[in-house]
Amino acid sequence: MSEKIHLPSHSRRQFLANSGKIVAASALAGVSIPFVHGAETNTINIALVGAGGRGTGAASNALSVKTGPTKLIAVADAFEDKLTKSCETLAGAHADKIDLGDRKFLGLDSYKQAMNTLRPGDIVILATPPAFRWVQFKYAIDKGLNVFMEKPVTVDGPTTKRMLDLGAESEKKGLKVGVGLMCRHCPTRKEMFNRIQQGEIGDLILMRAYRQQAPIAMFRTEKRPAEMNELDFQIRNFHSFLWASGGSYSDFFIHNIDEACWMKNAWPIRAEASGGRHYREDYIDQNFDTYSVEYTFADGSKFFFEGRNMEGCKDQFATYVHGAKGMGVVSSAGHAPAKSKLFKGQNIKSEDLIWQGPKEEANPYQEEWENLTTAIRNNAPFNEVKRGAEVSLVTSMGRMAAHTGQTVTFDDMLNCPHEFAPDLDKLQKGGPAPLLADANGIYAVPTPGVKKKREY
């Protein structure tokens, strides 16, 4: 996939909330016409599937929109403690917009029960581990529901193909689908993108991004409770396991990768990388501590990504772009605020500043919900699945390059037959997990140069 891709200008959320109200309905399952939930109400009902921090944050944003009324009427999760905590948190912040009754559902199939409480045109939030995304999205399409799904939306080639097909089906049915890449909804970044496309700093020839932070998603052998079923353990700690999330690379680094490719207005065609684990013989997760990835675009320009999860090292969370006439700071302190700037030349100097975003910025986590619900109310086109699947694939491409020590192209990744959890839709709570530990309770970790068959 070497041609340039024009990217939609909307996307994402998390755990910050404002105030306000929400939205209305959408399209029926196969009919692209405005749909109102009866003359007596224009309230959109919300079901939350996946009641962890991300799901709870998304629900809070959904209940804070200013485009019309919303109500949370169902919550589902695999674990009772997560479900209880989420419900308590949301009730404390949005008591007048929650009516759960007995609609709190537990288990791996609880997503069906939660979605069954909704009417066509309502919204389901899919915030479970990414591996389950395609399974639950398929059910939402069958029910005629609008969707907000967290990123990444895929973790390997087969699930990406599946998600692309499902995305096309949801578009045919007129469903509105948001994907949790909130930086695409940041007005400041949007203005920066437009300025770059208009040539203010010339053609982009280099992008670089950094997410270097303390360890995340890492567990020592003794941290696994002896009484906990292996599948439950892996789902609860999904960032640690490649089948469940694509690991820390896919689940956390995707934002910087997405915003850099957005500014370039293209996806890279190949990736080469290195990485490794350090000082961690007794840790059981599958993540590397360091990732250094070189992405190449069709025009030969480069994007370098540096990821690190280690104690005692310099932290950095930023994305930069370099053009023939100048450079830009896309973000410099995380996702929000962006603090975007453009400079003439290649140095960050106040005297060379040619543009900067406003001091007060809109919250992109909230903005993506305002955009989604506005599209639903106006029956306007809004479907981010294709872009979400493609950036998830690009992220997997870099991860696989590091984990195998091989060059991995976009087409390699898309057509790679290896699927981490091919029978995921058949998993049963308390049943066997897609990944098994060895006799010492240790899980397989990537071995670049040894395992080259692109199974990571």
Q: Which residue has the tokens 């997503």?
A: 111
Q: What is the pLDDT of residue 455?
A: 62
Tokens of 27: 């399209």
CA distance 299 to 2: 8
Cβ contact 122:25 at 8 Å: yes
Straight-line distance from the first to the last Cα atom of the chain, in angstroms, rounded to the nearest whole number: 21
Global pTM exceeds 0.75: yes
pLDDT for 205:
98
Q: Is 20 exposed, middle or buried (0-12, 13-18, 19+ CB in 10 A)?
A: middle
pLDDT at 29: 33
Q: Which domain holds residue 377?
A: 44-184+365-382
Q: What is the pLDDT tens value at each position of the chain, 456 positions in all?
A: 332 333 233 333 333 333 332 233 333 333 343 344 544 579 999 999 999 999 999 999 999 999 999 999 999 999 999 999 999 999 999 999 999 999 999 999 999 999 999 999 999 999 999 999 999 999 999 999 999 999 999 999 999 999 999 999 999 999 999 999 999 999 999 999 999 999 999 999 999 999 999 988 777 766 677 788 899 999 999 999 999 999 999 999 999 999 999 999 999 999 999 999 998 877 889 999 999 999 999 999 999 999 999 999 999 999 999 999 999 999 998 999 999 999 999 999 999 999 999 999 999 999 999 999 999 999 999 999 999 999 999 999 999 999 999 999 999 999 999 999 999 999 998 889 999 988 888 899 999 999 766 665
- The DSSP string of 233-281 is HHHHTGGG-HHHHSHHHHHHHHHHHHHHHHHHTS--SEEEEEEE--S-T
CA atoms within 13 A on the CB side of 233: 22
Give the separation between CA 12 and CA 9, rounded to whole angstroms.
11
**How many C-alpha atoms does 32 have within 13 Å on its Cβ side?**
12
On whether residue 405 sits in a domain, the answer given is no
pLDDT value at position 253?
Answer: 97
Question: What tokens appear for 192 in the block?
Answer: 């920066």
Note whether residue 258 is domain-resident: no
Looking at residue 217, its pLDDT comes to 75
Domain-embedded: residue 80: yes
- In this prediction, residue 220 carries a pLDDT of 74
Domain contains 93: yes
Distance in angstroms (rounded) separating the CA atoms of residues 269 and 5: 12
In a domain, 218, yes or no: no
Q: Yes or no: say if 356 and 348 are a contact pair by the CB < 8 Å rule.
A: no
Max CA pair span of the chain: 64
The domain total for the chain is 1
* CA 294-297-299 angle, 5° bins: 130
167: domain CATH number is 3.40.50.720
Q: Residue 426 domain-assigned? A: no
Is the residue at 143 inside a domain?
yes
Question: Is residue 172 within 8 Å of 144, Cβ to Cβ?
Answer: no
For residue 12, what pLDDT is reported?
A: 33
Taking the alpha carbons of 180, 215, 294, 455 in that order, is the dihedral positive or negative? negative
Inside any domain, residue 123: yes
